Structure 1
Amino acid sequence: MRYAYAVTAALLIGGATATMVTQQPVDAQVAQNAPGTIHAPISKNGTIPGFADLVEKLQPAVVNISTTQRVKIQTPANPFAGTPFADLFGGLGSGDTGRPITREAQSLGSGFIVSPDGFVVTNNHVISAGDPDKSGSATASAVVESITVTLPDHGEYKARIVGRDSASDLALLKIESAKPLPFVQFGDSTRTRVGDWVLAIGNPFGFGGSVTAGIVSAMHRGVGSGPYNRYIQTDAAINQGNSGGPMFDVNGNVIGINTAIWAPNGGNIGIGFAIPAEIAKPVVDTLRAGKKVRHGYLGVAIQLLTDDIAAGLGLPKDHGEIVVRVEPGGPGFKAGLRQGDVLVKVNNIDVTPDNTLSYLVASQPVGAKVPIEVIRNGKHITLSAVLAERPPEDQLATNGVPENDDSDDDSNQNTPRNSARTALGITLEPVTPEVANRLNIPQNSHGLWISNVDPSSDAAEKGLRRGDVILSMNEHPVTSIGDAVAAINATKAAGRNTVLILVQRGNNPALFTGLKLMPPAKK
């Protein structure tokens, strides 16, 4: 996934909707895409005569956005300090600590005007300080000093930030003009369908206004990015510098904001993503009113209910998400949520791939009391949670480092340990304080660590490896080999062939997965 920076990345668009606008007073400024001013280019027989008339109406409201940044780079220390070569290589730094150098950098993106008095919408990352240093040879920090908005008529305006929201990756700017500016309005992206034609207008590679067309490839596409993980996917050609630009339907409605592309090789391959108007418009309206955007927060880490996890729980797939961790003292904790609960409804709305838990919770107001339906030990129960405010994105990040360990091989012994390995294709050992230290996990950890993985097992296919720690099986803690064997036997007795495990690698967050039982060995 890449953002559409003009200097480092790119993005895309897609969709189709109806405009939401009321009749204008006689003296009011009219949006470029106001009803009655746009004529869809699709004829009755389905042919496409062209988008020229549509683009002519819309393009005046699409702008280029550039930032000027002051970048402070800590240069590496001069390795020749104190030698006759110090002056010759003085540019490498001085002394043992190096010296800071301040440089100017620029970035480019796109945006669009949403009012005649100069409010401009773009992506938050377009106006955020970048990371200019990618070489690893020096550290750098950047501060955005100025933002310039350039209109298609080449008029330039200094912009101020009205507000920004990192969770939705949206920002609102304001420019001042002596005359009314051309503008466009949001449409209703909930009416967009896969296969609808869309237009992307932006500033790819800093070349100025460019237009591309394509269709909506998918709706509600999740790409693992923030609480609003619900994008419009399109095949319209989007390249570096398109971030923040509008996505229009054939009626001229803004149904999305170009945000990112899938670019494994750094360029456009026809997979781009746009924030739908149904998400963007409420955020923009809040920022325009001078208010802070606040998102609901439940305080749980979750996983999608994949086929193997669903099989381990004996539940249907594509319905619900499983709780991996519950934040102590958070809204979910206070509501009574537990690790292993499967959340199936939020505020009476089903949790599905199209309506993820994060999206449903973030869409609720802070302080709202919402019913949460979960499946626990095969039974449906309903809890009540009072949502808190979602913390900044950087506070939600976690990471860890995997490790491994050694153990003895007892494959020829008829022991419970061997029974577990025969069933799951993994050899398990209890976690002791000494083992925890070697595995780089907390000293008070409890569970079973994997000392060997059968290459032909489902565990190997799932990526489990030596040193991983299994914390629970079928939602029950495991601290001995006997616990593991009991979980395996219970799975068989229930007529299932998948054991649900909670596994941790190093200090990384624990995750659920389902392990299929190995077929009985042939005699």
Structure 2
Amino acid sequence: MRRACLLRYAATAGLGLAALLAPAPGFAKGPVSVADIAEGLQDAVVNISTTQTLKERNGSPPGRKGPKTSPFDELFDDFFDEEGPDGSPRKVSSLGSGFVIDPSGLIVTNNHVIEGADEIIVNFTDGSKLKVIKILGHDPETDLALLQVKPRKPLKAITFGDSSILRVGDWVMAIGNPFGLGGSLTVGVVSAVKRDINAGPYDNFIQTDAAINRGNSGGPLFNMDGQVVGVNTAIISPTGGSIGIGFAVPSNTAVRVLNQLKEFGETRRGWLGVHVQNVTDEMASTLGLEEPMGALVASVAPEGPAGSAGIKPRDVILDFGGQSIRNMRDLPRAVANGTVGADVLLKVLRDGELLDLTVTLGRLPASEDDEAIETEDSDGVKELLGLTIEPLTADLRAKFEISGTVDGVVVTAVDPDSPAAKKRIEVGDVIVEVTQEAVHRPEEVVARLRAVEKSGRRKILFLLANADGDLRLVNVPIS
């Protein structure tokens, strides 16, 4: 009897244990799998390998805009760096990602992945390789490039989705080539949209916590419908690896740029011809605004579209073609996306009165491709190469006792660990010329620096003046 009772207890206990071990129905297989979506996409995601010859023995490849520890790290990965004898050329090979958008052989990647490359090879998931026969176009401002290969048979291609409907919290998926590990997939959410990381005048990034690393650059960011909603471009990483903060160019921006690259081999951005700044709290009431908003016109190019339309300094542009301008950064994006030659209605606040003006949008000249509209902080302060630089105002001239014969941009702070500090640039020094061109505003210094970076040079030449006007030349390393 007792034995029967024990057996009965054991059976009951066994059933209880089985019940405890059985997974709850809702968590039987974990979160919903993305395997079915990914299976149809991986063949269209490719690895991009490039090779280029550098004549300079020291320095990083032209495609890299900063050291590996820079905060806004690129995702492009050097995997082979062979140095020849002193002064001899060396070859650098690099890996990135890309994706097919047309079965006939059109492939998207980042501009910095292929910039300066002597040879570009596209590697597919089945092990096949194709050499890029033509770079149809590239755009440094959005960091996009369109490549052409000649396949033996139609390629698997993927389509773009609408990035404008993305919301914070939406699930996204990245596929790419991190650290040379092709076909890697990660999943995360949209952390933010319309993110400005000060990479350029058209910043409008999608931020995601989907793990992306070096080598993912140029790869696609997908929505859960398997459509490309972004092109992975940059990460914040003090370590060089993913810390969950990555950035992608929105698909709507990419499609517009890629269509122009395909048709014209270049981008054709709108041009307004104004120099703008933010409206501060102090300015708002003076300008007749209840709160700081809009883009304040600081100057107008006399023969530019804005000048012809009657836009004047001190005007506040509040709306461009139906797009609300909340701050100065909104305007360059809106203008760049406009159609060259089109008439656009602007809402402008002038002396407290709201005006409607019509401007015929011009085309941004190629020589001004750094930015369609110059922008600056309200005080004009810029930071670069460890230097804080500001316009040489009367107050700063008096503060640093700078001679009235000196003109340029004044250094107001120096990072003691920066290359500039090692070159003995000091607070109170005035940058008179950059690469033998006179400068009068901080943004002119920035523009010269960008031009030097794009040329592939590793140093930038400053002509400096001290407070007494004594001049000296200083060659400052860029990275």
Indicate the TM-score class for this superposition, using the shorter chain for normalisation: 0.5 to 0.7
Which has the higher mean CA deviation after the structures are superposed, 392-401 or 170-179?
A: 392-401
- The answer to whether the aligner puts 1:149 opposite 2:122 as a matched pair is yes
User: Which one-letter code corresponds to 1:103 in the other structure?
Assistant: R
> 2:279·2:327 contact (CA, 8 Å) conserved in 1?
no
1:405, 1:320 → 2: CA distance? 26
Partner of 1:58 in structure 2? 41
Structure-1 residue corresponding to 2:405 = 437
CA contact (8 A) 1:306 1:318 kept: yes
2:258 counterpart of 1:284: yes
Q: SS of the counterpart of 2:226?
A: coil
Alignment-derived partner of residue 226 in structure 1: 200
Query: Counterpart of 2:158?
Result: 184
Question: 1:28-427 to 2 correspondence within 5 Å?
Answer: 48-73=31-56, 100-129=87-116, 144-159=117-132, 160-289=134-263, 292-310=266-284, 313=287, 315-317=289-291, 319-352=293-326, 356-392=330-366, 396=370, 402=389
- The alpha-carbon deviation at position 113 of structure 1 amounts to 0.7
Residues 367-408 of structure 1, C-alpha deviation per residue, up to 9 Å, x if partnerless?
Answer: 22222222222222233322222234775479898589999x
Output the CA distance in 1 between the equivalents of 2:392 and 2:278.
30
Indicate conservation of the 8 Å contact 2:295/2:316, yes or no.
Answer: yes
Please tell me whether the aligned partners of residues 276 and 328 of structure 2 are also in contact (alpha carbons under 8 angstroms): no
Q: Is there any run of 5+ residues in structure 1 with no aligned partner, and where?
A: 1-42, 77-90, 94-99, 130-143, 408-425, 443-449, 451-464, 469-504, 511-523
Query: Partners of 1:372 and 1:220 in 2: how far apart?
Result: 22
1: CA distance, partners of 2:238 / 2:187 = 22
The separation in 2 between residues aligned to 1:148 and 1:239, in whole angstroms, is: 20
1:169 alignment partner AA: D
- 1:239 is paired with a residue whose SS is coil
By relative contact order (CA 8 Å, sep 6+), the higher-ranking structure is 1
Partner secondary structure for residue 203 of structure 2: coil
Secondary structure of 2:89 counterpart:
strand
- The one-letter code matched in structure 2 to 1:508 is P
Deviates more, 1:359-368 or 1:302-311: 302-311
Identify which range, 214-223 or 390-399, moves more after superposition: 390-399
Q: State the shift of 1:290 in Å.
A: 5.0
Deviations 1:250-278 (A, max 9, x none): 11111111111223454322221111111
| Distance in 2 (alpha carbons) for counterparts of 1:302 and 1:58 | 43
CA RMSD of aligned residues (A): 3.9
TM-score normalised by structure 2 residue count: 0.65
Residues 230 and 275, structure 1, Cα contact 8 Å, conserved in 2: yes
Return closer, same or farther for 1:216/1:353 CA change in 2, 3 Å cut-off: farther
| Amino acid in the other structure paired with 1:240 | R
Aligned residues: 358
Cα distance 1:366–1:506, how it changes in 2: closer, same or farther (>3 A)? closer
Deviation at 1:318, TM superposition (A): 5.7
Distance verdict in 2 for CA 1:57–1:373, change over 3 Å? same
Tell me which amino acid in the other structure corresponds to 2:408: N
1:508 counterpart (405, 418, 442): 442
Aligned amino acid, residue 114 of structure 2: I
Per-residue CA deviations over 1:64-93 (Å, capped at 9, x if unaligned) read 1111111111789xxxxxxxxxxxxxx997
TM, length-normalised to structure 1: 0.60
> Match for 2:158: what amino acid?
V
Deviation at 1:211, TM superposition (A): 0.9
More deviation, 173-182/349-358: 349-358
Q: 5+ residue gaps in structure 2?
A: 1-25, 60-83, 375-381, 413-426, 431-438, 445-479
Once the two structures are superposed, what CA deviation does each residue of 1:222-252 show, in whole Å capped at 9, x if it has no partner? 2233343212111111111111111111111
The 3 A distance-change label for structure 1 pair 183 and 166 is same
Distance change >3 Å, CA 290–CA 342, structure 1 → 2: closer
- The structure-2 alpha-carbon separation of the partners of 1:74 and 1:49, relative to structure 1 and needing over 3 Å to count, comes to closer
